[in-house]
Structure 1
Amino acid sequence: MEKTQSIRTSIIGAGPRGTSVLERLLAHAAALATDGTGAVQLHIDVIDPYPAGPGHVWQPQQSRLYLMNTQSFYPTLVPQDPALAAPVAGTTFDQWRAEQQAHPSPSLTPDERAELAVLGSSDFPSRALYGRYLRCTLDELTEKAPDGVTIQFHETSAESVRPAADGTFDVGLAGGSTLRTGAVVLALGHVPSRLNPEQRELQGAAEQLGLRYLPPAVPADVDWAAIPAGQPVLVRGMGLNFFDAMGQLTEGRGGKFVSNGGKLDYEPSGQEPLIIAASRRGTPYRAKAALAGYYPASVTLRYLTDAALERFRTAGIRPGFDHDLWPLLHRDTLWAYYSTLVRSQPGAVPDTAAFLTALEEALHPHAHSAAKWEDGVESVLAVHVGPRHRLDLPGLAAPLAGRSFASRTQLDAAVVEYLLDDARRSALGEDDPVKMAIGALHRGRAVLKTAVADGGITDESWVAGLRGWFESFVEGLASGPPALRSEQLAALARAGIVSFVGPDPKFGVDRRNAVFTASSPWVDGPPVAARTMVEALAPGNRVSANDSPVLEQLLADGLVRPRLMMTAEGAPVQSTGLDVVPHPYRPLAANGSVTENLYVLGLQLSSSQWGTAIAAEAVQPGQPAYRSGQRTLRDADEIARAILGL
């Protein structure tokens, strides 16, 4: 006999992760209605001040100059795992792209149609177009919601979540109204963050001296028109947000990039400022290689594998990053580089067969050997590979390290040389040894995400290793922009629109002259000066420094707490994310108890998962389906099952 249950749940956050929870709830409600086990009366409140689907970051109205960091074939909102309940609607982004090219939706704008007309599977879409995909998918989901399911969207902010006497929650909304609900999902995504002490000091100085200071923000929220033409603007950070700023201040002001005899030139409009770019490395992230898929087909991990993780689990070992995991990935990176070198540059190694045999033997983990494996590899390289062809991994991530410059003109020339060399390597794709070494790191990152989320790693190695040095190292190599951006930046530098500060910059305020300043210890000459400074950094993802009313209230009331980790010295360190228990992820209260019926998905899981900012990965034919690729969708599925009592 069927039984009907009545459930009410609230999802706070209507971006991709919140929409994934909604999608999974609908999928399971539809399955319940058809498999004869029982019907469900389900009401879902979706709360976000921004339109549901795209949420804050992916608004379809934003500038089309803002590109995604992944190609069309990569992202999906809808799971493709046959073990999960079948979706009621929706496809991957690439399937949606192809369908819209063949049969455009009447809701598409002329700009969206124009972008779709020339967008290929391996091209980088605009964030605006991805936002349109998210909105279209949400519309399909709501149209096909099963009987008994009602959805109400509240375009406002949730300001509090408090337990009620009957075991439910009261969700307080901006404006004073309250929703009574049985379960709450925190799918907050990128929340505002309080400025750090240095940023507050710079902001305060700007207010006192009449300067212009733009703190970290979602690029689409920034008023780029407020930056005056023809004057210097100091931009801190050369990651992905930097290229967003660069585009808005150049092409966004009428300038044009033109191809000229195989190289890219820039034709100014006269409305550009002088962009002075600064970052710790002194250079932007390395550009992505031109590949047929997300991972290079010629690179296969031999050492950091799922089987290796299983061996740790079987032995009852919680691995350390530096001691257990990085040595395996380091081996894979070396093999990817040198096997590509001998394949693509036959003259680089005289006796290829002997070299690869000796290298393979040196890389093999010898369980009973006390010798350092790196010494064995060095011995092999000393015999077979000349210095010019050696892999310098630290040097890849810090291309200006160990160099000093007599002037900023000399520095600018060095950065342009780096950018063009990196773009050239990207164009070679699978035939460039450096890009294939980075490809191994990229594959390894997917395996590391599984290691962290499924088995965990030691606290001390999380603090000192994974987050201490590896995260910034691998992001600078494997999370870069399309190669076109490197060529554009080089063209802007040659045109005198962009110049650089140099590595390890120091920032300050010259109060006498009322300007921001920046200088590098490795570049001779006076500090650069500007009356405008832009923080081209993503807002900090640290729950203890958040500026979200609902998250602050939950912390203040003790319903959630940040996770503490122990360093190797035994000192507690507050990590970036919430303290949670799996599965599904529920927060621990200040007293250590589990806050039941409150679920966490996405960025606030950054102390239990690694790489939480990356979207779900669509399954690609011929490519490995890493367990970490659709983890956020499985997390959403677990939440939906728990809410429905499955």
Structure 2
Amino acid sequence: MERLLARHAATAESTRDARNAAAPPRPLHIHLVDPFPPGAGHVWRTGQSRLYLMNTQSFFPTLIPDQGVAAAPLAGCSFNDWRGAMRAEPDATLSGADRTELATLAATGFPSRALYGRYLSWCFARLLEKLPRGAQVTVHADEAKRVARDHERGGFAVELLGGESLRADSVVLALGHVESRLSPAQRELRDDARAHGLAYLPPAVPNDVDWTQLPAGDTVLVRGMGLNFFDVLGQLTEGRGGRFEPTGRGPGDALAYLASGREPVIVGASRRGTPYRAKAELDSYYPAGVELRFLCEDAVTRIHDMGATAGFDHDIWPLLHRDALWAYYTTLARTSPGAVSPGFLPGLDALLHAGLDGEARDWAEKLKVLEARHVEAGRALDLPALARPLSRQPLRPGGKHRFASQAELDDAVLAYLSDDAAGSARGEDDPVKMAIGALNAGRAVIKSLVADHGITQESWLGELRGWFEGFVEGLASGPPALRVEQLAALVRAGVVHFAGPDPVFRIQGGLFTASSPWVADQPWHARHLVEALAPANRIQGTASRLLNNLQADGLVRPRVMLASDGGPVVTSGLDVSAPPYRPLDGVGRPVEGLYVLGLQLSSVQWGTAIAAQANAEYRSGYRTVLDADAIAADILA
């Protein structure tokens, strides 16, 4: 909507006949169809709990472009600019909770999702106030159930769930998160749970869940320890009257939890056995002291020149791995000079520049030798161990388990949480966080490579999404450091426990059980299981009436890629043309006048963004704005 209005205004201004300035401009009528209020929508509803935080700091998000587009915005600003303006002169639409949060929210703070929703609503209202001549916006508080070609008049007919039908020349599918059907394994677990009178909570937007159905004192198994895990924790602890108080003991042990007595016993479980690592406390999204020297613009140009023949493991990861090594060791040498010998960095620099032509097969072995000679024992960078921190735990006698008891596992995870929180507090002085910062910056470069068709299909499936995606998300997509401090306090208070890596969930003896091959102790038993996961973003398996009807009518189809063995793989997103993204119909032809924006582009873009980054350093940081701008330009052409 913002890009359509901005381009409409710019076009009207440039084509206006000075001799007939009063001539009416070309009309533009935008219909917004959404069952939730426009602006905040579903995920960012303004009435939700303040315990649901964004995963980016105030300085990060913007709805309004600040670069990369020719048509200047008509209204609005970045979230951080809005935050400052609302603190200085609060808008009448702000609630008391909004004003209280704004009073202490800093540029580096993590806003609540409710406050971000207020920002989105404010931007929407400002755009309506600045409608250019000839533009009209109509909001339909309804759900679109079908988009069909209008063969008689051209364009499309958009059928709404409430019975209304809209005629449109163009339609943009900007659907965001939509409901999905459960996987076969999840359906089986749900049906077995019902048969035994157990409570199974499937993947959902956290604000949609009634958390009161989980009784105080009962054991609750929570599967998944990513971002939704921390949402669950907040509702079952602070949301029930518990309080965190400062201990004065410093990072890693900074908080104590005072229970309300209404908490359940929470057992977290995930494949790695630990939550995502916390974000470093920084003044910028990417560490200021980290520079990508290998996965840089020159390297990206070379990869682009290869066409769609680049492989992630062969062509991209070796460069990013070098950047992570350099970020780690330069930080280590600066902050702990005694941990490396004086000649280490020059030798490392030379080695990192060697083998880039693919001829140095023993490069990894040379790195190990160099580290063994010059790096203090236990201080060498071990990236796989960062992603699986419990793997460093030695096997117990007999070689079957790493932990003799659940209590021993809890102690190990608590030590990991405390160390991680302390590392976040050190910010740019923490070598591990700077290595992760390099991986995060490299991820921004990779996003552009993927969107520009710079990687083979088999590498996308088997390498980028096969191992790297989960690896980097667990390291670089974690929660605010505050959340990890709070989790550590909950573990110390006995409110939260852990099941161990690679957990197995069953129903036995009329109860859910969760056991881990890493732990010798008895499994956990519970009457409640929460899937702390977002609903799957897959075209096949979606519960969206609209997407299912579009597929049934042959207007869209999921993208199919070829794996390394030549077999077809149905991917998560729609099959689309080059930008501006039009869906391909059942026979593979772009559907003129129909466009796709956002999460349903997950088969041609990696890490589809919800919002743009203000003052983005990398092009992928404002890719969504560029996509919207290209669609608007095509519609108005």
- Cα 1:197–1:637 change in 2 (3 A) is same
Q: Does 1:520 align with 2:499?
A: no
Deviation, structure 1 residue 368: 7.1
Deviation, structure 1 residue 515: 1.3
Query: Residues 121-270 of structure 1 correspond to what in structure 2 (within 5 A)?
Result: 121-165=107-151, 166-262=153-249, 263-270=254-261
Residue of structure 2 equivalent to 1:631: 623
Q: Does 1:459 align with 2:457?
A: yes
SS of 1:244's partner is: helix
Residue of structure 1 equivalent to 2:502: 504
Q: Does 1:490 align with 2:488?
A: yes
Residue of structure 1 equivalent to 2:398: none
Residue of structure 2 equivalent to 1:595: 591
Residue of structure 1 equivalent to 2:272: 281
Residue of structure 1 equivalent to 2:293: 302
Among 1, 5, 8, the residue aligned to 1:29: 8
SS of 2:60's partner is: coil
Q: Is the 8 A contact 2:304 2:449 kept in 1?
A: no
Deviation, structure 1 residue 106: 1.2
Residue of structure 1 equivalent to 2:412: 414
Deviation, structure 1 residue 365: 4.4
Taking the aligned partners of 2:218 and 2:68, their CA distance within structure 1 comes to 56
Residue of structure 2 equivalent to 1:377: 367
Taking the aligned partners of 2:447 and 2:26, their CA distance within structure 1 comes to 35
Give CA deviations for 1:444-466 in whole Å, capped at 9, x if unaligned.
00000011012331001000111
Q: Report % sequence identity.
A: 58
Taking the aligned partners of 1:613 and 1:538, their CA distance within structure 2 comes to 15
Q: Is the 8 A contact 1:32 1:40 kept in 2?
A: no
**Partner amino acid, structure 2, of 1:576:** S
Q: Is the 8 A contact 2:225 2:275 kept in 1?
A: yes
Taking the aligned partners of 2:365 and 2:543, their CA distance within structure 1 comes to 49
Q: Is the 8 A contact 2:583 2:591 kept in 1?
A: yes
Deviation, structure 1 residue 612: 0.3
Taking the aligned partners of 1:36 and 1:377, their CA distance within structure 2 comes to 63
Taking the aligned partners of 2:568 and 2:167, their CA distance within structure 1 comes to 37
Residue of structure 2 equivalent to 1:14: none
Taking the aligned partners of 1:174 and 1:86, their CA distance within structure 2 comes to 36
Query: Residues 98-117 of structure 1 correspond to what in structure 2 (within 5 A)?
Result: 98-117=84-103
Deviation, structure 1 residue 402: 5.3
Deviation, structure 1 residue 37: 5.2
Deviation, structure 1 residue 592: 1.0
Give CA deviations for 1:212-267 in whole Å, capped at 9, x if unaligned.
11100000000011111111111111110000010000000000001123231100
Deviation, structure 1 residue 318: 2.9
Residue of structure 1 equivalent to 2:433: 435
Give CA deviations for 1:584-612 in whole Å, capped at 9, x if unaligned.
00111111111111100000000100110
Deviation, structure 1 residue 178: 0.8
SS of 1:146's partner is: coil
Deviation, structure 1 residue 373: 2.5
Residue of structure 2 equivalent to 1:395: 385
Give CA deviations for 1:332-373 in whole Å, capped at 9, x if unaligned.
01111111110110111121xx21111111111443734332
**Partner amino acid, structure 2, of 1:361:** A
Residue of structure 2 equivalent to 1:536: 532
SS of 1:487's partner is: helix
Give CA deviations for 1:296-333 in whole Å, capped at 9, x if unaligned.
01100000112211112334463111110011101101
Deviation, structure 1 residue 547: 0.6
Cα RMSD for the two superposed structures: 1.2
Q: Does 1:338 align with 2:329?
A: yes
Deviation, structure 1 residue 537: 0.4
Residue of structure 1 equivalent to 2:351: 362
Among 442, 445, 454, the residue aligned to 1:444: 442
SS of 2:555's partner is: coil
Q: Is the 8 A contact 1:505 1:521 kept in 2?
A: yes
User: After the TM superposition, which of the residue ranges 39-48 and 314-323 deviates more from structure 2?
Assistant: 314-323
Deviation, structure 1 residue 386: 2.8
**Partner amino acid, structure 2, of 1:642:** D
SS of 1:508's partner is: strand
Residue of structure 2 equivalent to 1:12: none
Give CA deviations for 1:273-299 in whole Å, capped at 9, x if unaligned.
111111111110000001110000110
Taking the aligned partners of 1:433 and 1:247, their CA distance within structure 2 comes to 30
Deviation, structure 1 residue 40: 1.9
Among 636, 639, 643, the residue aligned to 2:635: 643
Deviation, structure 1 residue 615: 2.5
Residue of structure 1 equivalent to 2:560: 564
Taking the aligned partners of 1:271 and 1:642, their CA distance within structure 2 comes to 56
Deviation, structure 1 residue 82: 5.7
Q: Is the 8 A contact 1:318 1:455 kept in 2?
A: no
**Partner amino acid, structure 2, of 1:571:** G
- Cα 1:365–1:172 change in 2 (3 A) is farther
Taking the aligned partners of 2:53 and 2:315, their CA distance within structure 1 comes to 37
User: After the TM superposition, which of the residue ranges 400-409 and 37-46 deviates more from structure 2?
Assistant: 37-46
Q: Is the 8 A contact 1:76 1:617 kept in 2?
A: yes
Taking the aligned partners of 2:150 and 2:307, their CA distance within structure 1 comes to 42
**Partner amino acid, structure 1, of 2:176:** G
Deviation, structure 1 residue 205: 1.6
Runs of 4+ that moved beyond 6 A:
none
- Cα 1:368–1:295 change in 2 (3 A) is closer
Q: Is the 8 A contact 2:67 2:615 kept in 1?
A: no
Q: Is the 8 A contact 2:328 2:434 kept in 1?
A: yes
Q: Is the 8 A contact 2:609 2:624 kept in 1?
A: no
- Cα 1:430–1:644 change in 2 (3 A) is same
Deviation, structure 1 residue 84: 2.3
Taking the aligned partners of 1:140 and 1:62, their CA distance within structure 2 comes to 23
Q: Is the 8 A contact 2:170 2:635 kept in 1?
A: yes
- Cα 1:136–1:368 change in 2 (3 A) is closer
Q: Is the 8 A contact 2:280 2:481 kept in 1?
A: yes
Given the two structures, how large is their TM-score scaled by the length of structure 2?
0.95
Q: Is the 8 A contact 2:308 2:455 kept in 1?
A: no
Taking the aligned partners of 1:458 and 1:585, their CA distance within structure 2 comes to 20
Taking the aligned partners of 1:233 and 1:193, their CA distance within structure 2 comes to 24
Given the two structures, how large is their TM-score scaled by the length of structure 1?
0.94
SS of 1:609's partner is: coil
Deviation, structure 1 residue 544: 0.7
SS of 1:266's partner is: strand
Residue of structure 2 equivalent to 1:5: none
Q: Is the 8 A contact 1:278 1:501 kept in 2?
A: yes
Q: Does 1:350 align with 2:341?
A: yes
User: After the TM superposition, which of the residue ranges 89-98 and 73-82 deviates more from structure 2?
Assistant: 73-82
Residue of structure 1 equivalent to 2:20: none
**Partner amino acid, structure 2, of 1:540:** A
- Cα 1:424–1:170 change in 2 (3 A) is same
SS of 1:455's partner is: coil
Taking the aligned partners of 1:84 and 1:204, their CA distance within structure 2 comes to 54
Taking the aligned partners of 1:316 and 1:126, their CA distance within structure 2 comes to 42
Paired positions, count: 616
